[in-house]
Amino acid sequence: MPGDARWEKVEQLYNAALERPEAERAVFLGEACGGDEELRRDLESLLGQAQGGAPGASVLVAGRRLSAYQVISKLGEGGMGEVYLAEDTRLGRRVALKVLPRELAGDPARKARFIHEARAASALNHPNIVALYDVGSEGGIDFLVMEYVDGKPLSELIPRKGMPLKEALRCAFRSATRSLAPTPRASCTATSSPTT
């Protein structure tokens, strides 16, 4: 599509998207772009800037595809990233997709911490820790792909003032007994490795 005609189409679709509620924009873009991923990325970028690209503006929107992962919805955010529910289109499973927030994506120290988190998580294998499936970068967005565990967010389970001591000890005891449960080849004194 020649440059002028393309930008006229971008402008037209951009204005049409802005007129829709934010929750409907992903579906609109999917239909309007008709498989033109470059056009869709351009529009998503412009719409993100329209939201100010400011702290709190989401990095991804529902319907956006990042590598093999189709974003379904935003699950939450914290100091180190935003987490989205996504569909792994290769394996047909739901995953949690964690990305650096917009305001931290250009910070080399935060990017290094993000990668350090990925390496640390990939070295762990425990029933109470989600598995890390993938790490990647696409279109300037760094992301981690983790096991999705359906349930209540910690913010609903742990009160703002902290968990009562009795409840915290009960949770810690449950976690400890699961991780120390003997396996057929484990002795009752060897807790550091189930194979000794």
**pLDDT class of 175 with cuts at 50, 70, 90:** confident
Torsion angle of C-alpha atoms 17, 98, 134, 73, degrees rounded to 10 = -40
Q: pLDDT tens digits for 54-78?
A: 444 567 888 888 999 999 998 888 7
60: three-class secondary structure by DSSP? coil
d(CA 105, CA 158) in angstroms, rounded, equals: 29
Q: pLDDT tens digits for 68-108?
A: 999 999 888 877 788 999 999 999 999 999 998 767 777 88
CA angle 174–80–113, rounded 5-degree value? 100
Specify whether the CB–CB gap between 130 and 149 falls below 8 A: yes
Q: Classify the phi-psi angles of 34: left when phi > 0, otherwise alpha if psi is within -120 to 50, otherwise beta.
A: left
Q: pLDDT tens digits for 110-144?
A: 888 888 988 998 998 888 788 999 999 887 788 99
